[in-house]
Amino acid sequence: MGSPVHRVSLGDTWSKQVHPDIQSERHMQSFDVEQLTKILDGGAQNTALRRKVESIIHSDPEFSLKDNYFMTQNERYEAACKKKFHIQMLAQRLGWSEDSRELGYAYRSLSGDLALGIHNIFLKSIRSLGSEEQIAKWAPLCNKFQIIATYAQTELGHGTYLQGLETEATYDAATQEFVVHSPTMTAIKWWPGGLGRSATHALVLAQLICSGARQGMHAFIVPIRSLQDHSPLPGITVGDIGPKMDFDHMDNGFLQLDRVRIPRENMLSRFAQVLPDGTYIKLGTAKANYLTMVVTRVDILLGEVIPMLEKACVIAIRYSVVRRQSRIRPSDPEAKVLDYQTQQQKLLPQLATAYAFHFLASSLLEFFHRSYSSTLDKDFSLLPELHALSAGAKAMVTDFCAQGAELCRRACGGHGYSKLSGLPSLVTRVAASCTYEGENTVLYLQTARFLVKIYLQAQESPGSTSQRSLPQSVAYLTAPDQTRCPAQRAADFLHPELYTTAWAHVATRLIKDSAHHLQTLMKSGADWHEAWNQTTVIHLQAAKAHCYYVTVKTFTEALEKLENEPAIQQVLKRLCDLYALHGILTNTGDFLYDGFLSGAQIDVARTAYLDLLILIRKDAILLTDAFDYTDQCLNSALGCYDGNVYERLFHWAQKTPTNTQGNPAYEKYLRPLLQSWRSRL
């Protein structure tokens, strides 16, 4: 069987042969891998385009990622600047526009290892919050990189809670300027990407004060570095916030403003304006922009977060069919570690989760895009649901992807600890996603707030009108509920309807419980806020169950659409079954609690789960191949398509700077140490 050229791409002379242990996994194909790749890409055309872009990127040595693991933070940042420069040149030459698919695929193949990531967010914010004149002035400057921009919101002492931000912009009518100022230590802007070393301009979120009155958060364009020599402008203290767990390619920065004056025109004024005399005028609400934010959130999941779990699965599963360890039977050779039940239990649920999330995020995006038209007509009724869905999905997906990637890393034993495996960087990258773009607990609780509200509404007016208007993702709350699960045999647990209902049941119960807890506390005299804080643990649980339900439901719906691909449908259905059952078996308490499942049914579900592991095991390599990541993009000594793990690890290790450069510690300390006694003897 010939190996697809687009996959075997590192071109190492010693790796012409695919390792027989991984070759044998691809021997019997129960489904068409290529076809599954096309489904994941959203069509054959996309696959073709993606591969074309990948081959352009990978054939250009400027874009090589191979030295990444050996670089200091400083070198990584510099390399990311260099790549950014080259990709802009390339995009200009090939006519790839900023939002083009081509550029998206290029980012994917570079694993996002580019500087100035926030430049674009500045531009998007100007477009959504700026007046027509402001857009006309700043967008071209951005597009041509006449300025390099960032978005400065979080402060040293303030994150999630926008109203708590301390930076002030005080209007001075005499000069028609805003005075932007950091009044305290905790008000220093902290974390914005690109701020540390790169940006010339920042969009600063600050409390607007005009005519002595505080008007809340507004956005201001603040020049921070000289366009001539890049030095910080007067009144600006700016720099890098120092080493982090990862994101070395990004210069996250700090910004302290000491009464910096900017012209009145630099306040973004689509929704609010300050007139020259200091009069403040509101010009409507920014609600319409809300959808853009919600879409961006899910875009990040699909473009950045989920791929990290996918890659971790590819690396760990490929390695697990090449790595042999111990014997299952004394007479056999050492077994592939993927043949151990415990290894399957670690990795295959992660693989199922990666697929589940792919379909979840894709379907959410589709739903959001369908909702565009209604918000354009100023119908904002869908917004609360969209918000709750995106907040919950972000929290769950980033949580599970971070844990899953780390699980994959540890499943590779000692070698997973080496950066050359590629896994540590995946883990540290995806870990950041749990706290950026909204801390996960806060986001889950936003979803919970929506669920409680909907539930209480449905209770207040059990009439048909409210039920008809119940948003689709929570419609199950008023659907007839089973009190006992009818499953008897293992095979019963492989019915999508059965486990979807089980999840709906648990989510409903938890939402009910959380609402009742809240009401009980309020009846006993607590005010709403206090009662809310006292019940957040159960709200959190309810939101998590709801999100799990939504994922299971979405996955089963996606399967229904694959009728014309029975082989693929079958293999994906196993993953869907595994995802649903894995969730049940890790939360048995929730299902046993009110007797919805009996102990005997749990045992039966466990049998079904164990049988699934064996079936999915057979297709595991093909399922990871279908993600179609190139070897360059994986950048892993353990995860290459050809399975030549050990040669590559040895080869890469020999090239590390610790081996190619001298050992100054020997001359300075080791030699004197080794000889200290001798001289005395």
Partner 1 sequence: MNQDLRKERAAASFNPELLTHVLDGSPENTRRRREIENLILKDPDFQHEDLNFLTRSQRYEVAVRKSATTVEKMRKFGIADPDEIMWFKKLHLVNFVEPVGLNYSMFIPTLLNQGTTAQQEKWLLSSQRLEIIGTYAQTELGHGTHLRGLETTATYDPETQEFILNSPTVTSIKWWPGGLGKTSNYAIVLAQLITQGKCYGLHAFIVPIRELGTHKPLPGITVGDIGPKFGYDEMDNGYLKMDNYRIPRENMLMKYAQVKPDGTYVKPVSNKLTYGTMVFIRSFLVGEAARCLSKACTIAIRYSAVRHQSEIKPGEPEPQILDYQTQQYKLFPLLATAYAFQFVGAYMKETYHRINKDIGEGDLSELPELHALTAGLKAFTSWTANAAIEACRMACGGHGYSHCSGLPNIYVNFTPTCTFEGENTVMMLQTARFLMKSYDQVHSGKLVCGMVSYLNDLPSQRIQPQQVAVWPTVVDINSPDSLTEAYRLRAARLVEIAAKNLQAEVIHRKSKEVAWNLTSIDLVRASEAHCHYVVVKLFSEKIPQIQDRSVQAVLRNLCLLYSLYGICQKAGDFLQWGIMTESQVTQVNERIKELLTAIRPDAVALVDAFDFQDVTLGSVLGRYDGNVYENMFEWAKKSPLNKTEVHESYHKHLKSLQSKL
Sites for partner 1 among residues 626-655 (CB under 8 A) = 646-647, 649-650, 652-654
Sites for partner 1 among residues 503-522 (CB under 8 A) = none
Q: Is 193 annotated as a binding residue?
A: yes
Strand partners, 220: 204, 267
Taken in order 367, 370, 376, 382, is the CA torsion positive or negative?
A: negative
d(CA 432, CA 428): 7
Give the active site residues.
437
Least distance (Å) between residue 369 CB and partner 1: 30
Nearer to partner 1 by C-beta: 142 or 301? 142
Sites for partner 1 among residues 255-314 (CB under 8 A) = none
- Binding flag, residue 372, partner 1 (CB under 8 A): no
- Binding flag, residue 11, partner 1 (CB under 8 A): no
Taken in order 212, 215, 220, 224, is the CA torsion positive or negative?
A: positive
CB atoms < 10 A from the CB of 299, how many? Answer: 14
Judged by CB under 8 A, which of 186, 466, 467, 519 binds partner 1? 186
């390792």: which residue's tokens? 19
- Binding flag, residue 254, partner 1 (CB under 8 A): yes
Q: Is 154 annotated as a binding residue?
A: yes
Pairing of strands 189-190, 324-325: unpaired
Judged by CB under 8 A, which of 31, 77, 357, 579 binds partner 1? 77
Q: In a 10 Å sphere around its CB, with 0-12 CB exposed, 13-18 middle and 19+ buried, how is residue 586 labelled? A: exposed
Q: What is the largest CA-CA distance in the chain?
A: 98
Strand partners, 210: 213
Judged by CB under 8 A, which of 60, 258, 334, 366 binds partner 1? 334
d(CA 354, CA 397): 9
- Binding flag, residue 615, partner 1 (CB under 8 A): no
Element (H, E) at 281: strand 280-282
- Site mask, partner 1, residues 541-580, x = CB under 8 A? ----------------------------------------
Of 37-45, 153-161, 169-177, 289-297, which part binds partner 1 (CB under 8 A)? 153-161
- Binding flag, residue 587, partner 1 (CB under 8 A): yes
DSSP 557-601: HHHHTTTT-HHHHHHHHHHHHHHHHHHHHHTHHHHHTTSSS-HHH
Nearer to partner 1 by C-beta: 356 or 638? 638
Judged by CB under 8 A, which of 10, 121, 139, 241 binds partner 1? 241
Of 96-104, 240-248, 300-308, 477-485, which part binds partner 1 (CB under 8 A)? 240-248
Judged by CB under 8 A, which of 535, 554, 624, 635 binds partner 1? 535
Judged by CB under 8 A, which of 326, 464, 465, 564 binds partner 1? 326
Amino acid identity at 429:
R
Nearer to partner 1 by C-beta: 290 or 340? 340
Least distance (Å) between residue 139 CB and partner 1: 14
Least distance (Å) between residue 412 CB and partner 1: 9
Sites for partner 1 among residues 395-414 (CB under 8 A) = 406, 409-410, 413-414
Helices (H), 626-681: 631-634, 645-654, 657-660, 664-665, 671-680
CB atoms < 10 A from the CB of 354, how many? Answer: 28
Half-sphere exposure of 179 (CA within 13 A, CB side): 13
Task: Identify whether the C-beta of residue 498 lies closer than 8 Å to the C-beta of residue 487.
Answer: yes
Indicate the annotated binding residues.
154, 193
Binding-site entries for FAD: 154, 193
